[in-house]
Chain A
Amino acid sequence: MTKGVDVDLENVWIRFGDFVAVREANVNIKGGEFFSFLGPSGCGKTTILRSVSGFLEPSEGTVRIGGRDMTGIGPNKRPTALIFQNLALFPLMKIWENITFSMEVKGASKAERRKRADELLEMIALPDQGEKLPSELSGGQKQRVAIARALCAEPDVLLLDEPLSALDLKLRQHMRTELREIQQRVGITFIYITHDQGEALTMSDNVAVMRAGVVDQIGSGHTVYNDPATPFVASFVGENNVFRGKVKSIDGDMALISTNRTGELLARIATTAQGTLKVGDPAMLFVRPEALNIAPDITPAPNRFAAMVKHEEFEGQIYNVFLEGSEGKEIKMSLVNIGTERQSAEGMNLTLEYVPEQAVVLPAGELASE
């Protein structure tokens, strides 16, 4: 198999008439990496992918694949293969013909194609299904055929546009691991698009989080989750309790925020905001539900606040507690089920606490709408 190559977007703008679908995207994807674009529906993920595969030219900026400027090079000349959002298997061709289409157009003999098709069918665990038509396969099987068809073209870069979105949860989880395995086996660059943050975090080496045409943050799943660059990323990736307020004081990388409804709270300033955030700036403080805990006593502290239990949801491994803070502020807390008796009950007044280093402060900004 070919070794994966780098894909670089340099200052890429894509416009449809007056509408800006992608704004100043700068992304460097390293060869052999599993890279995800994560963002809500309509934020421009597919548009970026289409500019990489060659179906549309950026209005401004350049796309490079393996260091080569791709401007003016058509999709059939690029070393990419795209797995479409709806798979786009050829309905009138048999499975084996679908898989080896890329060889057929290059004039490979039928015997050659059959042989390769059998190898690939073996790889995607669908042996002896080559004679069927796409309509005769299940959703997950079609999925795998689409992957095999793309891999058969021996691309340097495989582009996947939400290929799992049509599958049910169980199959989706299964296909995630399978995709990751395939990627590690063939070693080529995977660019994966999803609006499911769980999917992005579990599979990717690096994630780009997009909001309305803008790439907000690029980093490993760990970084994006723990050290978000914008309020949008903080609220879109995973769940977060948001406290709005103003910066009261700054001490190193820690900031004290006087929140609108919950008093003064302390948290770490996000890496991107360090040095730029000043006293008096409007700010947002994010605390993840799993970072919250029930305090052992009710002594006030800048990492503690009071709330009343409204209801609970038991999920086995954890249980989610929904609380109401002062002035009706909604708060969610996730407690690990360690087998002891429940520490809370409906209507109970609790004091919650968190480790200040586990909460983040960011300059106020746009949140992801739920």
Chain B
Amino acid sequence: MKTNNILLKFILGAYLVVFFGYLLGPLVVMSITAFNSPSFPKLTPWECLTFEWFDVLAHDERILNGIENSFVIGIGTVILSVIMGLAGALLLTQIWPKLRATYYTIVIAPILIPGVVLGISTLVFWDRMSIMLGMSSGGILHNGIFLTILGQSTFIASYCMLVFIARLQRFDTGLTEAALDLGATQVQAFRKILLPFMKPAIGSAAVLAFLASFENYNTTTFTFGKYPTLTIELAQKVRYGINPSISALAFIIIALTILGALAHEIYRRRQQLALANGAPVAAVSGGFQLPKFFRGNPAAIILVLLALGGASTIWFAQSYSPNACKMDVREQKQLLQQERIKAIREKRQLEQQQKQHQGPDVFSGSKSGSPATQSPGKGAFGNVFAPGNLDKSGPAAKPDEPAKSPGKGAFGDVFSPKNLDQAAPKED
């Protein structure tokens, strides 16, 4: 039994590691590539810690413009979706009970319809409308921001409605009746009783709507017109090759998300504590509550550590300059290239010598067993030209080389177009 338990725990632990690795791994990798200097997002040949990609990002007009459009559209979508969602949810509570199920199905349907379809239909519908109304093609009905807000709101409003329905189910309609009974008008009862009750749900729905709008691609791609959002810009960028400034953007988004989650968690905890103590919220916002909040929540500790890490990174970025490191890397690269050039030169010399000798067979039989004979593959060159071997390789080994190395790899490396390009100017 006991070993069974240990085994179970082990499996569970391994599962958790794999699971979280799967969930968070890509994010971590992407974030790290934002700080590596190569111009393609890479993790493994770690070259230099750099913050230049944030700089690049900050000067990328298209990305900045995309972010701006995303914000404008996000805010528009939040306003429209929250209002429509709230109205839809309220109608559900008022509607004739027999119609309720049908109504619910209809208003939830947009969530189930593919976003692509919503995008196309928004475009087509408003195009028709604009023609019917006799508007010019530059009119508001063809405006990308207007269309995107409408298109996204068709389904985001349904999400909001679900949030509101959940909250409304806990509303005691007796409270509205009590307000009416005490002389309030319907509007006053709504504003003073129902709306304050819905406030937390409105907040959640707004955040949800904004995030859904910000990350939307498939509906937006049909409606954005002249106003590409961030997701559209990113998708277009990827088509023409990316650089780590995208990782930098990802890092910023992840960091903001974590900070937001942290702030929300702290707020929620305080609310909970306040409820548990039956005291007003203000009473528990003292500093002494914070440790309690941590005790109960390891995730919060990790979040705080991450936040601290982020803050210290930013501070570090102010004082650190990657130039020295970059120079090093450049030097190393140059060294490597010079070695390769050397190798190529030597090889050419060899070839020429061979042609002069015209008798490689004599040497091929020799038992001197140079490393090249034993390792025909890619390694051939590496070994032959390793600094150690170079010194030793006397004239005896030289004729041996071309005859015995059958591997394509030997030349492949040297003559790969990239290397040739780099090597060429240096040769002169």
Task: Give A residues with C-beta under 8 Å from B.
Answer: 53-55, 74-76, 80-82, 84, 86, 88, 90-92, 101-102, 104-106, 133, 135-136, 149-150, 153
Contacts and interface: CB of A to CB of B under 8 A. Distances in A.
Contacts of B278: 135-136
A101 B184 contact: yes
The 4 closest A-B pairs by CB, nearest first: A102-B182, A88-B178, A88-B174, A105-B184
A118 to B, nearest CB: 19
Given A101-B192, A105-B182, 19 more contacts: A53-B181, A55-B181, A75-B181, A76-B182, A76-B185, A86-B174, A88-B172, A88-B174, A90-B178, A90-B179, A92-B197, A101-B179, A102-B183, A105-B179, A105-B183, A105-B184, A136-B278, A150-B182, A153-B182
B180 A76 contact: yes
Interface string B159-198: 0000000000000101101111111110010001100110
Interface residues of B, number: 19
A55 B173 CA distance: 12
The majority secondary structure among interface residues of chain B is helix
Contact of B177 (A55, A104, A105, A135): A55
B168 to A, nearest CB: 15
B182 A81 contact: yes
A54 B280 CA distance: 36
28 contacts: A54-B181, A75-B180, A76-B182, A76-B183, A76-B185, A81-B181, A81-B182, A82-B177, A82-B178, A82-B181, A84-B174, A86-B174, A88-B172, A88-B174, A88-B175, A88-B178, A90-B179, A91-B175, A92-B196, A101-B184, A101-B192, A102-B182, A102-B184, A104-B192, A105-B185, A105-B188, A149-B182, A150-B182
Contacts of A76: 180-185
A105 B180 CA distance: 10
Given A88-B172, A135-B278, A75 B177 contact: yes
A106 B183 CA distance: 8
Nearest to B173: A88
Interface string B181-220: 1111100100011001100000000000000000000000
A138 B150 CA distance: 50
A211 B322 CA distance: 90
A102 B280 CA distance: 25
A274 B365 CA distance: 143
Interface string B256-296: 00000000000000000000001010000000000000000
B193 A90 contact: yes
A219 B188 CA distance: 41
Interface of B: 172, 174-175, 177-185, 188, 192-193, 196-197, 278, 280
B167 to A, nearest CB: 13
Contacts of A101: 179, 182, 184, 192
A298 B177 CA distance: 63
Q: Point out which of B180, B192, B197 has the most chain A C-beta atoms below 10 A from its C-beta.
A: B180
A147 to B, nearest CB: 13
B182 A74 contact: no
Nearest to B185: A76
A55 B185 CA distance: 14
A146 to B, nearest CB: 9
A56 B333 CA distance: 87
A127 B251 CA distance: 56
B349 to A, nearest CB: 90
A101 B196 CA distance: 15
Contacts of B280: 133
Q: Point out which of B175, B181, B183 has the most chain A C-beta atoms below 10 A from its C-beta.
A: B181
A53 B183 CA distance: 11
B177 A84 contact: yes
Contacts of B193: 90
Contacts of B179: 90, 101, 105
B246 to A, nearest CB: 45
B172 to A, nearest CB: 7
Nearest to A132: B280
Q: Point out which of A105, A106, A135, A136 has the most chain B C-beta atoms below 10 A from its C-beta.
A: A105
Nearest to B176: A88
Contacts of A80: 181
A290 B107 CA distance: 65
A307 to B, nearest CB: 50
Contacts of B172: 86, 88
Contacts of A149: 182
A16 to B, nearest CB: 12
A74 B178 contact: no
Contacts of A55: 177, 180-181
A81 to B, nearest CB: 6
A149 B179 CA distance: 11
Q: Point out which of A80, A88, A149 has the most chain B C-beta atoms below 10 A from its C-beta.
A: A88
A13 to B, nearest CB: 22
Nearest to A78: B181
B92 to A, nearest CB: 21
B194 to A, nearest CB: 11
B405 to A, nearest CB: 84
A231 to B, nearest CB: 36
Contacts of A75: 177, 180-181
B184 A90 contact: no
A153 B179 CA distance: 11
A91 B172 CA distance: 10
A86 B72 CA distance: 46
B200 to A, nearest CB: 11
Nearest to B179: A101
B177 A90 contact: no
A318 to B, nearest CB: 41
A317 B177 CA distance: 45
A294 B158 CA distance: 76
Q: Point out which of A74, A80, A90 has the most chain B C-beta atoms below 10 A from its C-beta.
A: A90
A9 B329 CA distance: 97
Contacts of B196: 92
Nearest to A102: B182
A88 B177 contact: yes
Contacts of A153: 182-183
A153 B180 CA distance: 12
B96 to A, nearest CB: 12
A305 B220 CA distance: 92
Nearest to A150: B182
A92 B200 CA distance: 12
Nearest to A152: B182
B178 to A, nearest CB: 4
Contacts of A82: 177-178, 181
